[in-house]
Structure 1
């Protein structure tokens, strides 16, 4: 079975959703026969490359909120992350263009280290004071994930390297009707939208194993949409 996950490193619900999916997968009897592939989805592709802004400032401006309201939004997401055992900084994080990160993740996929790099990038972005929008940091993360530093640097230096692969993932997301992330597709038969609880992923794995047709569920779950909006449900559950 293949599970494809469309996500963006800037999406907190993708970070949380990955952890929840992995918990669901851990209890799946056929987990050793599941191939997980991470696909690219940019939440803010028009954001100027090289520019960054503090996340709190970005949220306040984007949603027309005060800084205090933006901080409360982040605190709610942080509570969801912490409930999954994840670190989460509500202050001091950067927001920027994620295209280079996606290109590097495609290199990591070719080298069999994609999940390792994605996990490190999520942790650096959400739990550590390391800006994933800095090329030197990205190379450091690539090396930590087991990639060759010189090869990673060469990919980042060439704007065309893996650009077509990123765009192809994004076209596929559109064709599948994915307008928010995280978006999980099981063997192109069964889909889940949003950062659902681990139990939902466990059920989806069982149903997909039985070869049921593709059905998208959880459309109102916590997710980041194509405009970069990351909604927090009223109950703060992320489901």
Structure 2
């Protein structure tokens, strides 16, 4: 599974979004909610790092269905059913989603590369491509060559992206800083959106919920708790399905 990063909005609003299948879905729903927001052109979205399975060894890559079956104590057939449930939600948002052949692994290199993309103004482009590769296509984002290809497709310089992937310390501090900030803001599951560093929306909520949250944050009113913990993935790599 891929952990994207969590967004942040300037000009009075700030979402925090992380990865997992619900983040793939949540990003699409947030973007629809943002599109319906009257002040959308004044909102800046920034994605920040949040690892779902930070203790997993680099190179330890396994099929998602196998991981789900082991983690939840389910049969392979039941695990596939869990994936189909998520897939139906993704497809309802117009997102492609394949339930077979996807990998689960350590995402630290992806996050480091996304920080390079942020520095070059191409973060959303790379995140969108990485999500598509991970959830919809037959490309493993845990393969360095695939990551390099995605980086180039997103508009990054090949040599620069290759150098970042080769240097394990490149942008490592930035990833860790994001994770500390997420912990400080109380994010224990993903997706998690923070608006103006004051208001939070947890889970892959419907688009209209995001529009309402943006409007309330813009007006400075306190947002009521919104279905905290619904459709999220936790720091142990487990996802509510």
Shorter-chain TM-score: what band?
over 0.9
1:70-81 aligned at under 5 Å gives the runs 70-81=79-90
Deviation at 1:216, TM superposition (A): 4.9
Distance in 2 of aligned mates of 1:121 and 1:215: 33
2:50 corresponds to:
41
Partner SS state of residue 141, structure 2: coil
Distance in 1 of aligned mates of 2:158 and 2:146: 11
Distance in 2 of aligned mates of 1:130 and 1:110: 25
Seen in structure 2, the aligned counterparts of structure 1 residues 214 and 178 have a Cα distance that, compared at 3 Å, is farther
Deviation at 1:218, TM superposition (A): 2.0
**Deviates further, 184-193 or 119-128:** 184-193
Per-residue Cα deviation, 1:130-159 (whole angstroms, up to 9, x for no partner): 000010100100111111111011001111
Q: Is contact 1:100-1:156 (8 Å) kept?
A: yes
Deviation at 1:27, TM superposition (A): 1.0
- How well do the aligned residues superpose, as a CA RMSD in angstroms? 1.1
2:74 pairs with 1:65? yes
2:187 pairs with 1:178? yes
2:4 corresponds to:
none
1:235 corresponds to:
none
2:199 pairs with 1:190? yes
Q: Find 1:5's aligned residue among 7, 13, 16.
A: 16
| Runs of 5+ consecutive residues of structure 1 not aligned to the other structure | 233-239
TM-score by length of 2: 0.93
Q: Is contact 1:120-1:145 (8 Å) kept?
A: yes
TM-score by length of 1: 0.94
Distance in 1 of aligned mates of 2:162 and 2:224: 40
Q: Find 1:150's aligned residue among 137, 145, 159.
A: 159
Distance in 1 of aligned mates of 2:125 and 2:158: 15
Equivalences, count:
230
User: Displaced runs of 4+ in structure 1, greater than 6 A?
Assistant: none
Deviation at 1:4, TM superposition (A): 3.3
Partner SS state of residue 7, structure 1: coil
| Runs of 5+ consecutive residues of structure 2 not aligned to the other structure | 1-10
